[in-house]
Structure 1
Amino acid sequence: MVVLKRMSDKEFTAWWKNSVASYASEKVKAGNFKEETAIEQSESEFQKLLPQGKDTPDHYLFTVIDEGEHVGMLWFHANHEIKENYIFDIEMLESKRAMGYGKQTLQALEELSREMGMDKISLHVFGHNKTAIGLYTATGFETTNIIMSKQL
């Protein structure tokens, strides 16, 4: 079973750079950002969500560890008023995908969420990310909203 370890400053810096680029790419694929401005828009959204970096209150950034080895990462926000943890980012290293680490990470988050007194875990997934949708469905997440578009 994986262990969730708070990100170090070095891990956070590497994660930030990679995640800003990855999020920008996903938003372009989804048709939400233009390629020319995607990195700047992504950076702006991250700055708004994490104004104090990894020390932003109620935001939790973890490195996912298995037997001492870094296998992925998890970022979620705790909303204590509505007793909900909201996953902003969960990603396993490419070399560690399809090995059960995503499922184990979600199980670890469930346990942590219960310990925190939360009643719910929510997330957003891009419609084109069929692998992630499959993981979330297999671990008990249910669709609560669907936004659809038609490119003209």
Structure 2
Amino acid sequence: MDKATYLAYLAWSIPNYAQENIRSGRWSLDAGLQKAEEEYQQLLPDGLASHDQYLFSIKDKESGKNVGILWFGIQERGGKRGAFVYDVKIDEQFRRQGYGEQAFLAMEEKVYALGLETIGLYVFGQNYGARAMYDKLGYEATNIMMSKKLKSEQR
């Protein structure tokens, strides 16, 4: 990923990440954007040069046109290092054409070359398209957080 693509990605992704967390009920409306900015700063303190962070442009093989991005980093959990997908975005007009699947398969090769054995990710429950792709690629749920919004007459 080049710097211009990275800056455009941040301009879109930080507010979008805040909105997803607000919509899911994880963050409040007034604190959402600040929390998103803080998380991105913590993960990417040196931008594209941040340690153990890998950001890629997803390109159409024939035209070379950018069609999306993929970002993963290395995390340690339970004493083992593994990859964690922080974000994947396929531009709207290119969705459901196999770009996400191809990007994930290429990422698996990179993760394997780094000597890592696992890839984790978090997906918002309402993101049915992504969930279907992850299922197809063999990802399995490890934790499921559920909630129910009560109607006023139930209180």
TM-score, normalised with respect to structure 1: 0.90
Equivalent residue pairs, number: 146
Counterpart for residue 73 of structure 2: 77
Match of 1:147 among 142, 145, 148: 145
- Tell whether the 8 Å contact from 1:71 to 1:93 is kept in structure 2 after alignment: yes
Bigger relative contact order, structure 1 or 2, given CA contacts below 8 A and separation 6+? 1
Match of 1:117 among 112, 115, 120: 115
Counterpart for residue 127 of structure 1: 125
The amino acid that maps onto 2:103 is: T
Give me the whole-angstrom Cα distance separating, in 1, the residues matched to 2:111 and 2:35: 30
Give me the whole-angstrom Cα distance separating, in 1, the residues matched to 2:85 and 2:145: 18
| Fraction of identical pairs, as percent | 36
Give me the whole-angstrom Cα distance separating, in 2, the residues matched to 1:18 and 1:86: 20
Q: CA RMSD in A?
A: 1.4
Counterpart for residue 34 of structure 1: 28
Q: Which has the larger radius of gyration?
A: 2
Indicate yes or no: 2:39 matched with 1:45: yes
Match of 1:20 among 14, 18, 29: 14
The amino acid that maps onto 2:136 is: A
Unaligned 5+ segments in structure 2 are 151-155
